[in-house]
Amino acid sequence: MTAALVLSLMLMQDPDLQKVQELQQKLRAVVEKVSPAYVFFGNGSGVCISSDGWALTNFHVSGDRQGQRVRMPGGKQFLADIVGFDPLGDISLCKLREAKDLPFCELGDSDALQVGQHVIAVGNPFLLGNGSWEPTITFGIVSALHRYMDNPGYFDAIQTDAQINPGNSGGPLITMDGKVVGINGRIDIKRFMNRVNTGIGYAIPSRQIQRYMDAFKRGGRVFEGFIDGIQIGECGDGRYDNVGEYGDGVFVARVDAETPAGKAGFEPGDIIFEAEGYRITNANRFHGVVSNWPEGVSIRVKVRRKAEEKELKVFLGDPAKILERKRAMEATELGFAQGPGLQLGAIQPGGPAAKAGLKAGDVLTHVDGRRVGSWTEFRALLRPNAELLLTVTRDGKDVELTLKVPRPKTDE
Amino acid sequence: MNLLLAFLLAASGDDPFAPVLAKLRETASKSVVAIDVERDSDPDGITGSGAVAQHRDYYNRPKGPTSGVIYEADGFILTSRFNVSGGIRKNGLKVTLWDGRQLAGELLGTDEQRDIALVKIDATALPVLAHADMSAVGQGSFLALIGRSPERSHPTINLGILSATSRMNKAAVQTDAEMNYGNAGGALITLKGELVGIACNIKPDTVWGQSGGVGFACKLAEIDKLLPRLKKGEKIEAEKRPFLGIRAGEGNPDVEGIQIAEVMKDSPAEKAGIKKEDVLVELGGVKITDSESLKEALEPRKIGDEVELKVMRKEKAGWKEKAFKLKLEGKAEP
C-alpha cells in the first residue's frame, strides 16, 4: 500500500518541472548569496570581494578618483578610494572606507570555465536599481573563452549571453557555485543610437585579476606584462621560411640582447607555443596570455627550437621604465585632492601643495609652460625632487607657483 | 521503485525546460490573445527624424499584431498601453483568441505611467491564469513570457528569470526574457503557469530598447488597484517631472561628473547648447558626481524653473569649464 501511495505522489509531480525547480532553487540560492556583495558604483557597477571592503570595478567606471560615493544593495553608502588601476585592461581595485563585516563574493577560477555552463551577471543596467538599490540579475551561459580585443585591452575575455547593458560595467559574472569568475565590462552593439545588448557581452577573467592583485594593492597604475626585446610573427606566414603552420604558435623574428627577452635566452627562429601552461596558437593568443600577468613578474615560456623543446623564464616589462615609473608614482604624494576637471580639491595642511601656495578651487592649466589636459598627463610629468612651475587659474587670473615634488619614500 | 523513477526521468529527456515550456504553450497560452489595431494617426509609434527615421525597423512600431492577456473571464483583457495608443479607427480594434475567434475590442481605460490598457470583448467563460504567489517568486526564479505575435495562431514563448522585484516606482518587476514590440502586452508567468505580470514598457523612446535583456511587467497588485478606474474608461496620465534631456554614460576617468552619452532632440539641454561627451559637473550650485546626485539636485526644482549648469568640455587644449542656463521642461518617465 505504501508503494502505491509513493507511486501516486510521484505521478502527480511532473518530473521535468521538478528538475527545473531544482535548478531554480540553486539559482536563487546563488543570487541570494552574491547579490548583497554587489556595489552600485557611480553610473556603473562593482563587487565587494572581501569583508573589509576591497572591491573591483572597471577603470572606465571608476577612473582613479578618491572618495567616490558608492552604495551596497539596500542603499547603505560608502566612500570608495581607488587603490590600483589598469586603464588598458579596464580594471580598478578600490577600498571602501570604514568597511567592516561586509557581504562579499570571492574570486573563482576562470580557467575552469567551460563553454555552455550557466553564469549570472549582477549589475545596474540603465541605472534601473537607483532608488530601490536592488541590482539586476541576468542569466545566461559562457558563449566563448579567450576572446581578444584591442582598446581597451580585453585580451583574454569571457564572452557571455547573460544580458549585460550600459550600467552593468564593473559588475561580476558569477558561476553557479557563487564565485566571481569575471568582471563584466563591454558589449557588442549594432543598433543605431541605442547601446543595448545583442547577446554578446565580455568579462575580464578572474585569474587575470588575481595575478594583478598584488600590484593593484601596492597602488597606482598597473601596466600589462609584455616581453620586452622581442619581435614576433604569426606562424605559417608565407613571407618567411621555417616558421611552422598557422596555429603552431608565434615565431621569434628578432631578439635584442640586454633586454629581458635576450637575457631569457630567446633566439630568432624559436616558435613560442606555450606560456605558464596555456597553449599559444597565434599572435592574439600570445598577447592574451602574456598580458594575463602585470609587468614586473617572470613567467615560464615554452619554445620549439629545431627538434627541441625548451622552457625559458622571462621577466615581463622594461625594467628601466618600471623603476622610473615606480619613483614617479611614489612622488605623487603632493597633498591635495583632485577635483572636477583639473580643479584642486582639499589641500592637506603642511603638504607640498600647501607649501607651494596652492588653494582649493585653483584650476591647473600648465606645468613648466606646457598645457596639461588631465590628471594622468600631470602625473606623467612628475619626477622625484623636481621643482615644477605650475600655472593655475584663480578668480579668473593666472597664478604661477612652484611645487616641489617630494623625495620618494624608498630609494633603490 | 528506483527503476520507475529512472524511467520517468529518462522519459523527460536531458533538457527539462523543453517539455515544461511545451506544456505552457498548450495551456497558459490560451489566456494570451492577439490584438490588431488599425489607426488613423500614430504619434507614439513613429519617433525621431533624420538618422533615427532611417532605422525605422528598430525604432518604429512594426506592422502586425501585439499581445494581450485575458484577466477576467467575462472579456476583460489587459495589454500594454503602447499597443493600443494613437488614433484607433472606428471598429479598428480586433482581438483574436486562442481558438481563432476574432472579436471586436473596445478600449476602456489606460494608464500612461504604468503602460497598461484595458480592452473589453463581448465573450464569457474565457480561460484566466491563476495569480502567482509573489512571496514565492524572487530574483532568479524562472519565468516565461508568452505573446501572440507575429502569428496570431502560434504563441511565442521566451524563457528568462526574474531580474529584479521592484522597478518603475515599485509598479513592475524586471525580467531578462527577451521582450519585443510583439510580445509586450503578453503574460509573464512562472513555469507552473501562474501569472506574474503584464509585459510592458517596451516602446520606441525607452533607452533599454527591445530584446536587450531588460523588460518589465506590471505587477498584478498594481493592476488590481487600477482596475476599477480602468473599467470606468479613465485615461490616467503620467506625472511629469523636470527633465534636462540628457542620458548619462558610465563615467569619465579624468573628470568627476556625469559624462553625457546622449543629448535628446529638442530637449532643454540641446536648446542650451550642451553636447554629447560633455561632463556635467554642477547644477544650480550643487556638485554633480553621479546620476544620484543629479536626481537630488533636480528634486527641489519645478517644471519651468531656470537652472544654471556647469559642464566640462574636452577641447584641443584640454578640459574647459562651460556654463549654461536652461529652462526645465516636463516629461513623463520612463
Write down the CATH number for the domain with range A230-317: 2.30.42.10
Parts of chain B belonging to CATH 2.40.10.120: 16-237
Residues in chain B with CB shorter than 8 Å from the CB of A380 are none
**Is A169 an annotated catalytic residue?**
yes
Query: Above 80 in pLDDT, residue A30?
Result: yes
Q: Do A136 and B295 touch (CB under 8 A)?
A: no
More confident residue, B37 or A376: B37
Cell of B17: 525546460
- Domain A331-404, what architecture? Roll (2.30)
Note the pLDDT of residue B4.
44
Query: Above 90 in pLDDT, residue A374?
Result: no
Mean pLDDT of A202-227: 92
Q: Do A342 and B5 touch (CB under 8 A)?
A: no
For A306, which DSSP code? T
A9 pLDDT band, cuts 50/70/90, is low
Cell of A163: 544580458
Q: Is the peptide bond before A406 cis (omega within 30 degrees of 0)?
A: no
Note the pLDDT of residue B47.
62
Q: Dihedral of CA A320/A321/A326/A328: which sign?
A: positive
A223-237, A349-363, B75-89: least confidently modelled range? A349-363
Indicate the Cα dihedral angle A114, A117, A120, A126, nearest 10°.
80
Residues in chain A with CB shorter than 8 Å from the CB of B213 are 125, 138, 162-165, 197
Q: Dihedral of CA B224/B228/B234/B238: which sign?
A: negative
A90-104, A169-183, A379-393, B257-271: least confidently modelled range? A379-393
> How far is the alpha carbon of A275 from chain B, nearest alpha carbon, in Å?
33
Q: Is A49 on the interface with B (CB under 8 A)?
A: no
Parts of chain B belonging to CATH 2.30.42.10: 240-332
- CATH number of this structure's domain A25-222, picked from the four choices 3.40.50.150, 3.30.565.10, 2.40.10.120, 3.40.50.970: 2.40.10.120
Closest CA to B176 of A139, A22, A246: A139
Task: Answer left, alpha or beta for residue B266, where phi above 0 means left and psi between -120 and 50 means alpha.
Answer: left
**Where are chain A's structural domains?**
25-222, 230-317, 331-404
Residues in chain B with CB shorter than 8 Å from the CB of A87 are 253
A174 by DSSP, 3-state: which?
strand
Note the pLDDT of residue B114.
95
Residues in chain B with CB shorter than 8 Å from the CB of A121 are none
Search chain A and give the residue with CA nearest B280: A340
A220 pLDDT band, cuts 50/70/90, is confident
Q: Tell me: the pLDDT tens digits for B260-309?
A: 988 888 899 999 999 988 999 999 989 998 888 888 888 889 999 999 99
Q: How far apart are CA A362 and CA B285, in angstroms?
A: 17
List A residues 175-214 in contact with B (Cβ-Cβ < 8 A): 191-198
Query: Above 60 in pLDDT, residue A379?
Result: yes
Q: How far is CA B324 from CA B80, B283, B321, in A?
A: 39, 10, 10
**CB–CB contacts below 8 A, A to B:** 216
Cβ A337 vs Cβ A353: under 8 Å: no
Note the pLDDT of residue B6.
44
Note the pLDDT of residue A376.
73
Which among B20, B140, B319 has the least Cβ separation from residue A342? B319
The pLDDT mean for chain A works out to: 89
Q: How far apart are CA A379 and CA A134, in angstroms?
A: 38
Which among B1, B291, B317 has the least Cβ separation from residue A130? B291
Q: How far apart are CA B106 and CA A181, in angstroms?
A: 52
Mean pLDDT of A63-77: 89
Search chain B and give the residue with CA nearest A200: B212
**Is A60 an annotated catalytic residue?**
yes
List A residues 301-360 in contact with B (Cβ-Cβ < 8 A): 339-342
Q: How far apart are CA B202 and CA B143, in angstroms?
A: 18
Note the pLDDT of residue A286.
97
- Give the percent of chain A with pLDDT over 70: 91
- Domain B16-237, what architecture? Beta Barrel (2.40)
> How far is the alpha carbon of B136 from chain A, nearest alpha carbon, in Å?
11
Note the pLDDT of residue A150.
79
A159 pLDDT band, cuts 50/70/90, is very high
Q: Do A126 and B279 touch (CB under 8 A)?
A: no
Q: How far is CA B83 from CA B38, B42, B67, B120, in A?
A: 11, 11, 8, 15
Note the pLDDT of residue A1.
47
Please list the ranges in chain B whose pLDDT falls under 50.
1-12
Domains A230-317 and A331-404 share a fold: yes
The ipTM (two decimal places) reads 0.84
Which among B1, B161, B258 has the least Cβ separation from residue A137? B161
Superfamily of structural domain B240-332: PDZ domain (2.30.42.10)
Cell of B82: 503602447
> How far is the alpha carbon of B118 from chain A, nearest alpha carbon, in Å?
26
Closest CA to B313 of B305, B323, B303: B323
- What backbone phi and psi angles, to 5 degrees, belong to A70? -130, 165
